[in-house]
Structure 1
Amino acid sequence: MAQKKIISIEDRIPKLKETKRKKANRKLIIYLTIFFLLILAIIYLQSPLSNIRDIEVKHNDFVSDEEILTLSELSGEENFWKIKLSEIEEKILKNPVIKEVHVERNFYNTISIHVEEYVRVGYVKDEYEYYPILENGQVLTDQKIQKPGSDAPVFIGWDNPVYLTEITGELKKIPIEISALISEIHWIPEDGNPYKVRLYMVNGNEVIASIRNFSEKMKVYPSIAANLDPEQKGILHMDVGAYFEPYKNDGDDIEENSGDPQSIEEVE
């Protein structure tokens, strides 16, 4: 039977000491590395290297980059890691044109401001000038337009901001392809009915409607219009029920209209 080799404690001690020394060295290296990293982090945070390097603004059309930067109160000299993103968002949201905003940190020391503005739903006419109006009723009086585009209706006679806000909110609810059929929207309030509106359509007809159920009624407008004689122009009443009142002569005002009303309630 082979004899087991016996290793004396004296032979094992040097190996144990070497193992302990290596472990101690590894720990020392780790601690020194952490220490130097902390020192470098402190130096970095206290130096201009940790300041904001760039600020970018995205997805804004109506509000300029300069105005958004002014609202954010960022100068570019702030510490990239110490700024509070939620506070910056709250400051930018003070602009009534801005619906939502998201601020984030990006590489390298870049602050990105993502803006979502309220949608433009039309133009407000003021004598011979026009101003964009947003879905929340905000009129952009600092963005004068000499000639409005054909992509959205013109609002005329809306001297009450309360009803203007209501109609823009309703207009936002209808599909773009339907709102594109509207040329002008006039506010024509009556005693006991401040919600009455008159629409001039691009096909030459008029529509009498109510602000209260505007989006609901206008969503069915294409199906109603499809049942009308395209050669016969007139006024489509959609405020209560639905009936078509043809002009005596094309282009006559509603007061001069003596055509026979045609009920079209069955197409609703």
Structure 2
Amino acid sequence: MPPKHNIPPLKSVPKKKRGNRRLLSLLIVFFISVFIFLFFQSPLAKISTIEINGNEIASLSQIGQAAGVVTGDSFFSIDTSKLKTRIEMVGAVKTASIVKKFPGIVNITVKEHPKAAYQIGVNGLPEVILADGTPYLLNNKIFPSDRPILTGWKKDNSEWDHLCSVLAAIPDELLSDVSEIKPYPNVFEDRIKLYTRSRFEVITRISLLQEKLPNLPFYTSEFKKKNGTTGTLWLLEQDRGVPFEKQTSPGTS
């Protein structure tokens, strides 16, 4: 007879209790919740720096107030689209872009409406005129020399908006010699008189500015060579110039 082998009985594996799994899951959720809570209360979740770039006309305080956010506010709760809309309501601002950089940095970059000219406001302070004809108080209180000063213009002048839109489209270098522009209407309502830093008077029309200004340095240079003095240039449909009359010395007839 073959020998008998005693086979040990299989041990039963105890079933894992579902309660342990639930407890472990609850502990994980609890610690994650605590971590998230502590994170959002930490400095990492708050605005630490607000950077504003691109502004020349609008002040930092104007843009900051329009933005409506300050350091210490929640970094993650900022709605950049709403922030953009509020900043673009500032008169001088054409467009704004908002970029959030973790941790805690909010970068605001604005593009302002192009400048047309300058004027002395009703309060006697220097103002910059934007392309749409809107005046804006100058931050530095001093007239720069990149754009002409507008004088003698009334608020109800029908050519004001036309002039500002045309000037804003002209590069600074073409306006560098023009110091002042006055209305000078006749049968043409848009006729104007320009005063230059090279001591010329130029009579032209707003509708002709973009055509005539690129040639102004040539006209003034050739006029001086020919006449030995400055004078009045008529840059209209036909161009001509008249020298200034020499002043009579006192005591002479």
> Which TM class, normalised by the smaller chain length?
0.7 to 0.9
* AA at the equivalent of 1:83: I
Q: Mean Cα displacement is larger for which, 116-125 or 177-186?
A: 116-125
Change (3 A) 1:41 1:119: farther
1:133 to 113, 129, 132: 129
In the TM superposition, what is the alpha-carbon distance from 1:106 to its structure 2 partner? 1.2
Query: Deviation string for 1:8-49 (max 9, x for gaps)?
Result: xxxxxxxxxxxxxxxxxxxxxxx99x9689546632565354
SS in 2 for 1:170: helix
Change (3 A) 1:175 1:106: same
The match for 2:51 is 56
What are the equivalent positions in structure 2 for 1:214-225 lying under 5 Å apart?
214-225=209-220
Query: Deviation string for 1:112-143 (max 9, x for gaps)?
Result: 11122234443203586532223442212475
Q: Check conservation: 1:131, 1:144, Cα contact below 8 A.
A: no
Q: What is the TM-score with the length of structure 2 in the denominator? A: 0.73
SS in 2 for 1:133: strand
1:111 to 106, 111, 117: 106
Relative contact order, CA 8 A, sep 6+: which one is greater? 2
Query: Deviation string for 1:76-114 (max 9, x for gaps)?
Result: 454312221111011011111112211110132111111
2:201 to 190, 202, 206: 206
Gaps of 5+ in 1: 1-30, 251-268
In the TM superposition, what is the alpha-carbon distance from 1:229 to its structure 2 partner? 2.7
What are the equivalent positions in structure 2 for 1:1-268 lying under 5 Å apart?
39=33, 42-43=36-37, 46-49=40-43, 50-126=45-121, 129-141=125-137, 143=139, 145=141, 148-160=143-155, 163-190=159-186, 192-230=187-225, 231-249=228-246
Query: Deviation string for 1:193-229 (max 9, x for gaps)?
Result: 2211100111111111111221222122223333323
Q: Percent identity?
A: 22
Q: Mean Cα displacement is larger for which, 224-233 or 107-116?
A: 224-233
Q: Check conservation: 1:120, 1:135, Cα contact below 8 A.
A: yes
* AA at the equivalent of 1:67: Q
Query: Deviation string for 1:149-197 (max 9, x for gaps)?
Result: 433321101223653332232223333222011111111233x422111
Q: Check conservation: 2:50, 2:70, Cα contact below 8 A.
A: no
Whole-angstrom CA distance in 2 between matches of 1:41 and 1:219: 66
* AA at the equivalent of 1:206: E
SS in 2 for 1:226: helix
Q: Mean Cα displacement is larger for which, 170-179 or 86-95?
A: 170-179
Please tell me the root mean square deviation across aligned C-alpha atoms, in Å.
3.1
SS in 2 for 1:152: coil
Q: What is the TM-score with the length of structure 1 in the denominator? A: 0.69
Whole-angstrom CA distance in 2 between matches of 1:210 and 1:40: 72
SS in 2 for 1:80: coil
Q: Check conservation: 1:197, 1:208, Cα contact below 8 A.
A: yes
SS in 2 for 1:148: coil
Q: Mean Cα displacement is larger for which, 180-189 or 150-159?
A: 150-159
Q: Mean Cα displacement is larger for which, 205-214 or 69-78?
A: 69-78
Whole-angstrom CA distance in 1 between matches of 2:214 and 2:147: 16
Whole-angstrom CA distance in 2 between matches of 1:40 and 1:198: 73
* AA at the equivalent of 1:42: I
In the TM superposition, what is the alpha-carbon distance from 1:75 to its structure 2 partner? 3.5
* AA at the equivalent of 2:162: E
